[in-house]
Structure 1
Amino acid sequence: MLKHNASSAIVAVSDIDRARAFYSDVLGLDLVEGDETVMVFATGPTHLVVYTSDEAGTNRANAVVWDAGGDIEGIVAELAARGVRFERYELEGAEYRDGIHHAGEMKMAWFKDPDGNILHINQMPAG
């Protein structure tokens, strides 16, 4: 029923101005539309919807995942230079270095937005 319909990730935040600065200035996303309660950012062929909510930051699982497109090291380095702090998780079979979890050819990085929403960058093995 929905397999041909577009979808968007959606993230709840407590402060729309702080979120605008983080998602625009730190992550480099282009704001497509927005007001004082909801913003829509372009991210590849999809959109990220950011909205104000009293429940902001209560999700303890991945809220958004981006495909690194083969350049996770460059993306992580640029985000780190912009002040992003990366999470370190103990994952069986994974080694952590320079903000990135390496599990064989798979590479993953996690960080949080100002409300604590967990954001994820993923690089799958080529092939």
Structure 2
Amino acid sequence: MTLLTGKSSSAIVAVTDIERAKRFYSDVLGLQLLDDGMEGVLVYKTGATHLVVYPSDFAGTNQANAVVWDCGADVVTIAAELAGKGVAFEHYEMDGVTYRDGVHDAGSFKMVWFKDPDGNILHLNSA
């Protein structure tokens, strides 16, 4: 039995203000909007997957990563572009990890965290 092996999945993020979220995910993050015709639900193309943004009273209550993007060697460049658009980065203390310009550097592995306007934690890494 294969269960979910080979099945596509999508990340899903709850927001309180769909128009504000649309501006953030479209304009700030530069994601391609694929569909906005499902009663306030936005579907974005992101790599080989989709990001679904939907209205909810529980938006921003998750205190863990909501979405992660594997950015490879582009992670530092992407962080700089996001900083130029006013994105504020999170800073987490971790043993053996330095922090500069929004990027946590663990040697060969780099990580960036920031929040969307509802407080959902978004994560970039160099994997």
Counterpart-to-counterpart distance in 2, 1:69 and 1:105: 10
Match of 2:26 in 1: 24
TM-score of the pair, normalised by structure 1: 0.95
Structure 2 portions without partners, runs of 5+: none
Q: Quick check: 1:45 aligned with 2:81? A: no
- Secondary structure class of the residue paired with 2:81: helix
Q: Which amino acid letter does the alignment assign opposite residue 6 of structure 2?
A: H
Q: Percent identity?
A: 65
1:93 aligned to 81, 86, 96, which one?
96
TM-score of the pair, normalised by structure 2: 0.95
Match of 2:108 in 1: 105
Match of 1:82 in 2: 85
Query: Could you tell me how far 1:69 is from its partner in structure 2?
Result: 2.5
Relative to structure 2, which stretch is displaced further, 86-95 or 33-42?
Answer: 33-42
Q: Which amino acid letter does the alignment assign opposite residue 3 of structure 1?
A: T
Counterpart-to-counterpart distance in 2, 1:107 and 1:69: 9
Counterpart-to-counterpart distance in 1, 2:59 and 2:75: 27
Structure 1 portions without partners, runs of 5+: none
- Secondary structure class of the residue paired with 1:71: helix
Counterpart-to-counterpart distance in 2, 1:69 and 1:91: 21
- Secondary structure class of the residue paired with 2:14: strand
Match of 2:119 in 1: 116
Give CA-to-partner distance per residue, 1:71-109, whole Å, 9 cap, x none: 111100000001101100001110001110001210000
Q: Which runs of 4+ in 1 moved over 4 A?
A: none
RMSD of aligned alpha carbons? 0.8
Give the number of equivalent residue pairs.
Answer: 124
